[in-house]
A and B are shown apart, each in its own frame.
Chain A
Amino acid sequence: MALPQIKQDATDARLAALEMPQGGWSKAARDEALARVRSMGLPNGRDEYWKYTRPDTLVQPDAPKAALLESDEAPIFGEVDRLKVVFVDGVFSAEESDDLVMEHVSIDRLADASDIHWAKDVYGVLEAHGQVPVQRPLASLNTAFATDGVLIHVSGKAPKPISLIYRHASETSDAILHHVVKIDSGAELTLLENGPAAARFNKCLEVEIADGGVFHHIRAQGRDHERRAATAIFTRLGEESVFKSFTLTANGVLTRNECVIELTGDNAVAHVAGACVGDGDFHHDDTVFITHDALNCESRQVFKKVLRNGATGVFQGKILVKEGAQKTDGYQISQSLLLDEDSQFLAKPELEIYADDVACSHGSTSGAIDEDGLFYLRSRGIEEGPATDLLTIAFLAEAVMEIEDESLQEEINSRVEAWLTRRRG
């Protein structure tokens, strides 16, 4: 079916500005992804899933300029014993990275991997699968044109986290990275990500988790005010496997974080959470799609947004329970704390259930600071500003507590606190 002319033109213009890397083993996946992009077209404001977030600047051929943030704040995760992989404007920096060697883990770079590679079975495969029933053309664009990324195969319990660090150095950089993580049966990995990455960042992360595998993901998206990011996670979970992902977003003019989760093995657990704080022209969109396709699986979505000075938050979350996915336990909460009357929160929670023995709950709220809590704190001598900050951190707590590691919880909280203090002046 032909695309509408306007979409066709926008898609052609974007594709004309890109060059497909030498693929090696990934060539076939890239070609197929390009075909998907051509047939779907890149998103525009008329698409149902882009109703609340304008994709124009994510689609246009050149990245809009984004100034670099000047800050003397130490980067997050600095205290964590980890294996660092550094990308500067989407380009791997061998100098700043650790050796890509760790017990029970093999790490390759997408740009290096030439002929035959295990990642062939995952690269673009989960992404392609995640295009139904909702199209995610920016992710296909990523699969076709990603210039680099890491391919991580975990065969046991990884001794320390792998930490992907994205530095932003050029005001006009446009980065496309694609990572693949494959967790073998019973294996475990924690993946950390942080940094603004580029003026515009398109990132795709595919995670295949075999039976009994465990994957933890904690991410802090960079604070550069003008940066833009469209990220997508595609994951497939085997029996009794665990996937837990948390994202902190503080500023950035435009962020679209998609997460597509498929529970295909019985008793699997998937949690995805996000805390974001933004003000002014900040626009943050969390779009989640969880498919329950096995018995007795648990999924949790916990998204909290603190918005002020006209910031916008978007949540689109869906739980699909397929026929036969009995004993599903699905939970979804999306809440915003609006610190003034100029900010807005747009939420579209959806449930689609074809099994008859399931428990699915969802809730979505927008509200101001709790007056009773504020009075309680003030009556103990805490001034209104710091009391509001404490309550803001309290509001985000349910999302932050999805992180299992308590020291990381604290680190995330301290970042939020610093953000609040800075904002307050």
Chain B
Amino acid sequence: MLEIKNLHVQLEEEDKQILKGVNLTVEAGKVHAIMGPNGSGKSTLSYVLSGKDGYEVTEGSATLEGEDILEMEPEERAAAGVFLAFQYPVEIPGVGNMTFLRTAVNAQRKARGEEEMSASEFLKVVRAKAKDLKIDADMLKRPVNVGFSGGEKKRNEILQMAMLEPKMCILDETDSGLDVDAMKLVAEGVNALRDEGRGFLVITHYQRLLDHIQPDVVHIMADGRIVKTGGPELALEVENNGYADILAEAV
């Protein structure tokens, strides 16, 4: 599904290398988790994959189902099936959540040459999915993320993911700022989307989220590289002992 090879990335404005040769393959139907200390390049990886400005790829490649995504505009990547659940979802006053969702869904359908979703069909689908995430009608009506609590913002990210049905879901510290109940709700939303045709890359600091979203593979990232890969037990090891041992071992 997602194949990242020897990816090197630096900041456009300063000569600072952030990713120093990332190799990672996420297969369809699998959940991969990336853990790692602050500043290891986890969020950069998610931004580079989704096409944010300000980063320069100096070497390597990233493909989705064989297609080079690094050359695409962010909206083209979205239409191709990449979705990033933001660590800090952006507030957009004056644009209703519903309008935003429908615009996004139909923009992607149009880009793929599919028929747009009718207003009534859209309404039906969005209501059902919102209900699962305990998102009420008021939250759907309000401007995008404006006045939402931390938990509401993250739930709203998952709702967008559920509506857009991407092939490759990247979750950037979706657990940050969530209490236990909210985390569970978000995890349930993610689990409901687990599917044979869909890959997940879950970036997190803590093992807690991975209690709820069981990963198939866990990677440890440090200083711009994947330094260790293992099964779910790797996350437990981090939780118990911190990164120090793993990093020492990797060097």
B residues 129-162 in Cβ contact with A at 8 Å: 143, 160
Q: Which residues of A contact B197 (CB under 8 A)?
A: none
Query: Could you give, for residues 153-175 of chain B, a 1 whenever the CB lies within 8 Å of some chain A CB and a 0 otherwise?
Result: 00000001000100000000000
Contacts A371-B53, A394-B143, A397-B143 given; does A379 touch B95 at CB 8 Å:
no
Stretch binding the partner chain, chosen from B2-10, B73-81, B118-126: B73-81
Stretch binding the partner chain, chosen from B85-93, B182-190, B198-206, B220-228: B85-93
Contact B53–A381 (Cβ < 8 Å): no
Q: Which residues of A contact B92 (CB under 8 A)?
A: 373, 376-377, 390-391, 394
Stretch binding the partner chain, chosen from B36-44, B99-107, B208-216: B99-107
Query: Could you give, for residues 49-77 of chain B, a 1 whenever the CB lies within 8 Å of some chain A CB and a 0 otherwise?
Result: 01111000000000000000000011101
**Interface size for chain A: under 10, 10 to 19, 20 to 34, or 35 or more residues?**
20 to 34
Contact A379–B74 (Cβ < 8 Å): yes
In the assembled complex, the CB of B100 is this many whole angstroms from the nearest CB of chain A, namely: 7
Q: Which residues of B contact A387 (CB under 8 A)?
A: 75
Contact B95–A382 (Cβ < 8 Å): no
Q: Please, how many angstroms separate the alpha-carbon atoms of A394 and B77 in the complex?
A: 24
In the assembled complex, the CB of A35 is this many whole angstroms from the nearest CB of chain B, namely: 47
Contact B74–A375 (Cβ < 8 Å): yes
Query: Could you give, for residues 353-382 of chain A, a 1 whenever the CB lies within 8 Å of some chain B CB and a 0 otherwise?
Result: 000000000000000001111011111111
The contact of A382 among B52, B75, B77, by CB within 8 Å, is B75
Contact B90–A373 (Cβ < 8 Å): yes
Contact A382–B53 (Cβ < 8 Å): no
Contact B75–A390 (Cβ < 8 Å): no
Contact B78–A400 (Cβ < 8 Å): no
Q: Is B108 among interface residues, defined by CB-CB distance under 8 A?
A: yes
Contact A396–B94 (Cβ < 8 Å): yes
Q: Which residues of B contact A398 (CB under 8 A)?
A: 93-94
Q: Which residues of A contact B94 (CB under 8 A)?
A: 393-398, 400-401, 413
Contact B90–A376 (Cβ < 8 Å): yes
In the assembled complex, the CB of B72 is this many whole angstroms from the nearest CB of chain A, namely: 11
Q: Is B48 among interface residues, defined by CB-CB distance under 8 A?
A: no
A380, A384, A401: most-surrounded residue (chain B CB, <10 A): A380
Contact B93–A381 (Cβ < 8 Å): no
Contact A378–B78 (Cβ < 8 Å): yes
Q: Is A56 among interface residues, defined by CB-CB distance under 8 A?
A: no
In the assembled complex, the CB of A369 is this many whole angstroms from the nearest CB of chain B, namely: 12
Q: Which residues of A contact B84 (CB under 8 A)?
A: 379
Q: Which residues of A contact B111 (CB under 8 A)?
A: 381
Q: Is A383 among interface residues, defined by CB-CB distance under 8 A?
A: yes
In the assembled complex, the CB of A406 is this many whole angstroms from the nearest CB of chain B, namely: 11
Q: Is A161 among interface residues, defined by CB-CB distance under 8 A?
A: no
Q: Please, how many angstroms separate the alpha-carbon atoms of A157 and B4 in the complex?
A: 68
Contact B104–A380 (Cβ < 8 Å): yes
Q: Please, how many angstroms separate the alpha-carbon atoms of A206 and B164 in the complex?
A: 53
Contact A382–B103 (Cβ < 8 Å): yes
The contact of B107 among A376, A381, A393, by CB within 8 Å, is A381
Contact B53–A375 (Cβ < 8 Å): yes
Q: Please, how many angstroms separate the alpha-carbon atoms of A54 and B144 in the complex?
A: 41
Closest chain B residue to A382, Cβ basis: B107
Q: Please, how many angstroms separate the alpha-carbon atoms of A331 and B33 in the complex?
A: 48
Contact A386–B51 (Cβ < 8 Å): no
Closest chain A residue to B82, Cβ basis: A379
Q: Which residues of A contact B95 (CB under 8 A)?
A: 390-391, 393-394, 397
Q: Please, how many angstroms separate the alpha-carbon atoms of A381 and B160 in the complex?
A: 11
Q: Which residues of A contact B73 (CB under 8 A)?
A: 378, 383-384
Q: Please, how many angstroms separate the alpha-carbon atoms of A394 and B146 in the complex?
A: 11
Closest chain B residue to A410, Cβ basis: B96
In the assembled complex, the CB of A183 is this many whole angstroms from the nearest CB of chain B, namely: 31
Contacts A371-B53, A394-B94 given; does A379 touch B78 at CB 8 Å:
yes
Closest chain A residue to B90, Cβ basis: A376
Contact A376–B164 (Cβ < 8 Å): no
Q: Which residues of B contact A390 (CB under 8 A)?
A: 92, 95, 100, 103
Q: Which residues of A contact B52 (CB under 8 A)?
A: 375, 379
Q: Please, how many angstroms separate the alpha-carbon atoms of A377 and B78 in the complex?
A: 10
Q: Please, how many angstroms separate the alpha-carbon atoms of A382 and B51 in the complex?
A: 13
Contact A378–B143 (Cβ < 8 Å): no
Contact A381–B108 (Cβ < 8 Å): yes
Query: Could you give, for residues 276-315 of chain A, a 1 whenever the CB lies within 8 Å of some chain B CB and a 0 otherwise?
Result: 0000000000000000000000000000000000000000
Closest chain B residue to A392, Cβ basis: B94
A377, A379, A384, A395: most-surrounded residue (chain B CB, <10 A): A379
In the assembled complex, the CB of B172 is this many whole angstroms from the nearest CB of chain A, namely: 11
Q: Please, how many angstroms separate the alpha-carbon atoms of A354 and B209 in the complex?
A: 58
Q: Please, how many angstroms separate the alpha-carbon atoms of A387 and B105 in the complex?
A: 13
Q: Please, how many angstroms separate the alpha-carbon atoms of A378 and B84 in the complex?
A: 11
Q: Please, how many angstroms separate the alpha-carbon atoms of A387 and B164 in the complex?
A: 17
Q: Which residues of A contact B53 (CB under 8 A)?
A: 371, 375
B73, B95, B111, B143: most-surrounded residue (chain A CB, <10 A): B95
In the assembled complex, the CB of A276 is this many whole angstroms from the nearest CB of chain B, namely: 15
Contact B164–A381 (Cβ < 8 Å): yes
Q: Which residues of A contact B104 (CB under 8 A)?
A: 377, 380-382
Q: Which residues of B contact A373 (CB under 8 A)?
A: 90, 92
In the assembled complex, the CB of B39 is this many whole angstroms from the nearest CB of chain A, namely: 20
Q: Please, how many angstroms separate the alpha-carbon atoms of A375 and B162 in the complex?
A: 20
Q: Please, how many angstroms separate the alpha-carbon atoms of A387 and B86 in the complex?
A: 17
Q: Which residues of A contact B86 (CB under 8 A)?
A: 376
Query: Could you give, for residues 13-27 of chain B, a 1 whenever the CB lies within 8 Å of some chain A CB and a 0 otherwise?
Result: 000000000000000
Provide a sorted-by-A list of 13 A–B residue pairs whose CB atoms are within 8 angstroms: A370-B90, A375-B90, A378-B73, A380-B107, A382-B103, A384-B73, A384-B75, A386-B103, A394-B93, A394-B143, A398-B93, A400-B94, A401-B94
Task: Apart from A378-B78, A379-B75, A380-B75, list 20 A-B contacts with CB within 8 A.
Answer: A373-B92, A376-B90, A377-B100, A378-B51, A378-B73, A380-B107, A380-B108, A381-B75, A381-B104, A381-B105, A383-B107, A384-B73, A391-B95, A393-B94, A393-B95, A394-B143, A395-B94, A397-B93, A398-B93, A401-B94
- A residues whose Cβ falls under 8 Å from a Cβ of B: 370-373, 375-384, 386-387, 390-391, 393-398, 400-401, 413
The 7 closest A-B pairs by CB, nearest first: A397-B94, A381-B78, A394-B94, A381-B108, A378-B74, A380-B104, A376-B90
